[in-house]
A and B are shown apart, each in its own frame.
Chain A
Amino acid sequence: ETGVTQTPRHLVMGMTNKKSLKCEQHLGHNAMYWYKQSAKKPLELMFVYNFKEQTENNSVPSRFSPECPNSSHLFLHLHTLQPEDSALYLCASSQGQGTGYEQYFGPGTRLTVT
């Protein structure tokens, strides 16, 4: 238990569906992250929020839309995904953004796009 929870843990969706992934951190951190973990690829950073403001968008397609209503919650809204978007989506949080801040990861949402 790292203090970062993600729901749902598993999601199967069709290419025309709209769904959302939720992340909540109970650590009082100010920065939150979305990562994509695919087989045979390094962990890829998607988005970073610091004090609810987006500070990184790593050239992510617009079919992925993040939302950070407050420092404890982070959402990833999904629409018209492609099969190659199937992956483990990990959320992480840290006290601050930048060198020296440890990131705490949630357990991930395993997404399958059919």
Chain B
Amino acid sequence: TQLLEQSPQFLSIQEGENLTVYCNSSSVFSSLQWYRQEPGEGPVLLVTVVTGGEVKKLKRLTFQFGDARKDSSLHITAAQPGDTGLYLCAGEEGNTPLVFGKGTRLSVIA
């Protein structure tokens, strides 16, 4: 069974701070996705990374896929209250269904 471990589980920071959240597995994935889920809503896809070592940027968010395609990180620069939410990573391998982590719940305080 493929598992994705996300850390930290909870994170509360002040507006303007930087942060990094992690998604780790012992399994190799062909691609890894990051989602943000806000209260009362479903997850929304932020990015998909497919190549080992790949780095993608989305405004203040930087996503990295590990060289071995077993882990990923999400770095947020100068966090804002609008970044508050549950960040989920999900791994895909072949035609097997997406495997999700439990998520990191981020709270950015103004």
Interface status of A48 (Cβ within 8 A of chain B): yes
Instruction: Say whether B94 contacts A102, CB under 8 Å.
Output: no
Q: Does A107 lie within 8 Å of B41, measured CB to CB?
A: yes
8 more contacts with CB within 8 A, not counting A43-B100, A90-B42, A108-B40, are A2-B42, A43-B90, A58-B97, A99-B30, A99-B31, A99-B94, A103-B45, A106-B42
Interface residues of B: mostly helix, strand, loop or mixed?
Answer: loop
Q: How distant is A17 from chain B, measured CB to nearest CB, in Å? A: 24
Q: Is A74 an interface residue (CB 8 A)?
A: no
* Contacts between the two chains (Cβ within 8 Å), count: 46
Assess A42 versus B102: contact at CB under 8 Å? Given A99-B31, A99-B95.
yes
Which residues of chain B are within 8 angstroms of A43 by Cβ–Cβ distance?
Answer: 43, 88, 90, 100
With A41-B102, A42-B4, A99-B31: A56-B45 Cβ-Cβ less than 8 Å: no
Counting chain A CB atoms within 10 Å of each CB, which of B43, B92, B99, B103 scores highest? B43
A32 within 8 A of partner (CB): no
Is B11 an interface residue, CB under 8 A from the partner? Answer: no
A76 within 8 A of B: no
> What is the bound-complex CA distance between A44 and B107, given in angstroms?
24
Q: How large is the interface on A (under 10, 10 to 19, 20 to 34, 35 or more residues)?
A: 20 to 34
Chain B 2-41: CB-based contact to A (< 8 A → 1; otherwise 0):
0010000000000000000000000000110000000011
Contacts of A106 in B (CB 8 A): 42
Residues of A within 8 A of B4 (CB): 42
How far apart are the CA atoms of A4 and B102 in the complex, in Å? 23
The answer to whether the Cβ of B44 comes within 8 Å of any Cβ in the partner chain is: yes
Q: Which A residues are CB-close (under 8 A) to B31?
A: 99-100
A92 within 8 A of partner (CB): yes
Q: Are B97 and A48 in contact (CB under 8 A)?
A: yes
Distance of A74 from chain B, by nearest CB (Å):
14
Q: Which residues of chain A (66-99) have a CB below 8 Å from chain B?
A: 90, 92, 97-99
Q: Are B98 and A45 neighbours in the complex by a CB distance under 8 Å? A: yes
Chain A residues, Cβ within 8 Å of B88: 43
